[in-house]
């Protein structure tokens, strides 16, 4: 049995949001497609510059064009993740979502996970979790494709983490534990 008290930080939520929508291994195809779409206009500009002879001008002019293209490329390639982080922060800062950040008591045992805070008590049997994702910062246990619970790893000591990992290994279904790796 594992018993913890923690408060989800806004930073935890923002990182979770970016992970689920962008960083997760299952989003690899989406990221590659995004990067490919960003490179197409850059390639077209370079082709047009070459074809029209603009690149035959003075080296300063060509350098200025190349720097502008490079900056545009970097902003377009890495801008989407920063947009995701901003969206997550906006959700976390919304006063209507303050219940996400209440102090929570977690109890995990053979029958499942119980979460209690000042507004609610939620009981999940292990079969309720259809997917588990994990990164360096947290565990994410999903009850649907959109809903789940976030458990920050920072709240565990070494013994509690080992016990929690053992409960997950024993009681979480194979599909929930590893299914996301097979599908991606």
- 156: its two tokens: 């565990």
- 155: its two tokens: 């709240």
pLDDT of residue 182: 44
| 3-state secondary structure string across the chain | CEEEEEECCHHHHHHHHHHHHHHCHHHHHHHHHHHHHHHHHHHHHHHHHHHHCHHHCCHHHHHHHHHHHHHHHHHHHHHHHHHHHHHHHHHHHCHHHHHHHCEEEEEEECCEEEEECCCCEEEEEHHHCCEEEECCCEEEEECCCCCEEEEEHHHCCHHHHHHHHHHHHHHCCHHHHHHHHHHC
CA distance 108 to 92: 26
CA distance 113 to 147: 15
CA dist 86 to 81, 129, 180, Å? Answer: 9, 28, 26
pLDDT of residue 184: 41
Reported pTM: 0.76
pLDDT of residue 65: 75
pLDDT of residue 155: 96
Cβ neighbours around 88 below 10 Å, total: 22
CA dist 116 to 4, 18, 63, 80, 107, Å? Answer: 11, 26, 60, 35, 9
The pLDDT tens digits along the chain (184 residues) read 999 999 999 999 999 998 888 888 888 898 888 888 878 877 887 777 777 877 677 777 777 777 887 887 777 777 778 888 999 999 999 999 999 999 999 999 999 999 999 999 999 999 999 999 988 999 999 998 778 899 999 999 999 999 999 999 999 987 776 655 544 4
Burial class (CB in 10 A: 0-12, 13-18, 19+), 151: buried
CA distance 108 to 114: 6
């Amino acid at each position: 049995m594992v018993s913890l008290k923690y408060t989800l930080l806004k930073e935890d939520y923002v990182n979770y949001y970016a992970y689920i929508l962008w960083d997760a291994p299952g989003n690899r195809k989406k990221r590659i497609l995004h990067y490919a779409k960003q490179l197409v206009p850059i390639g077209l500009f370079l082709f047009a510059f070459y074809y029209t002879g603009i690149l035959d001008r003075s080296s300063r002019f060509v350098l200025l064009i190349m720097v502008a293209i490079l900056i545009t490329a970097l902003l377009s390639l890495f801008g989407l993740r920063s947009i995701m982080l901003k969206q997550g922060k906006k959700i976390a800062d919304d006063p209507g979502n303050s219940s996400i950040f209440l102090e929570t008591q977690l109890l995990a045992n053979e029958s499942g996970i119980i979460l209690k805070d000042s507004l609610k008590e939620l009981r999940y049997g292990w079969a309720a979790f259809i997917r588990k994702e994990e990164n360096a910062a947290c565990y994410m246990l999903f009850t649907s494709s959109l809903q789940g619970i976030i458990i920050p790893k920072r709240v565990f000591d070494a013994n509690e983490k080992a016990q929690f990992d053992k409960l997950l290994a024993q009681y979480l279904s194979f599909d929930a534990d590893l299914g996301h790796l097979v599908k991606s």
